[in-house]
Amino acid sequence: MSEHVSDFALDQELTHSNSGATAGHVRTCPVCAARLEALRIHRAQLVESNALAPTRRDVMKRAEGQGDNRRRWRWLSLLPLAAAVGFAVWAIAPIRSRPPSERVKGKPFLELLDVDGHSAHDLRQADRVWISLTSAGHPYALLAQVDEHGAVAQVWPPSSAKSGEVSAAGPSRLQPGFEVTRGSFVLFAFLSDKPLRADEVLGALRLSAGSGWCIPPHSSCNLDQLPEPPELPEESARVTTLVRVSDPKDR
């Protein structure tokens, strides 16, 4: 053999000591002899290393001198590492969270739907409607209203002390629906990544409605000029819509 032997041939020589043409070449080639010795030392260090699992050390020792099983040894020696990698992936995957940059694209959107699921524009007293909300990636929402007399009321979730969960991926049709009464109101949807307290939301709206905007004895206030409520601690976004409801006899 006039050329140096391959790494694979030297690897084979470790388990087929003094056999074949490789052994003859190593005896006459100082370069390959040095490579083989370095490989033998490195392998011995791996076998005796405390960093290796006992099972892997045993497999490597049993493989010594078993040339017919050399290929099997090479695969078995990788099993502890493969198992460790597999466990690491399983352990990390469940706790990964989506960063803000990966939120659902688009803006929050709020509208009322009629019984047929169409956008409700021309509302009359006693019409039944449902709220459709697109949260743009925010998982919690709390809806409240301010009517033309400055009264504040929670709309959704009804009778809850905090925000309700909504779909972060697309429009949510909030249940239950409700029957509208004559008059006008501004509907607010407060969106967040953590639940908001209902008393804080309603308090912010009352503060806004009572800040000189609607003062008794006025019986009606201009909802187009309703001051914007102060920002809430956990609030991420908000969307509003003005709803006007006429009398049924106006149909």
**89 and 112 fall within a common domain:** no
Residue where a domain stops, chosen among 95, 113, 130 = 95
DSSP string for 44-83: HHHHH-TTS-HHHHHHHHHHTT-GGGHHHHHHHTTHHHHH
What is this structure's pTM?
0.56
Say what the pLDDT of residue 72 is.
44
What radius of gyration do the chain's Cα atoms show? Answer: 37
Q: Specify if 1 maps to a domain.
A: no
State pLDDT tens for residues 6-29: 777 777 777 665 557 778 887 888
**155 and 45 fall within a common domain:** no
**185 and 239 fall within a common domain:** yes
CA-to-CA distance for 3 and 56, rounded, in angstroms? 34
How many structural domains are present in the chain?
A: 2
State pLDDT tens for residues 103-152: 445 789 999 999 988 998 888 989 999 999 999 999 999 999 998 888 89
Which residue from 217, 211, 226 is spatially nearest to 147, judged by alpha carbons? 226
**80 and 116 fall within a common domain:** no
Residue where a domain stops, chosen among 63, 95, 127 = 95
Q: Specify if 211 maps to a domain.
A: yes
Which residue from 111, 99, 180, 105 is spatially nearest to 147, judged by alpha carbons? 180
Q: Specify if 40 maps to a domain.
A: yes
Say what the pLDDT of residue 64 is.
54
- The CATH number for 111's domain is 2.60.40
CA-to-CA distance for 12 and 29, rounded, in angstroms? 17
Provide the angle, in degrees to the nearest 10, between the axes of the packed helices 20-28 and 30-48.
Answer: 110
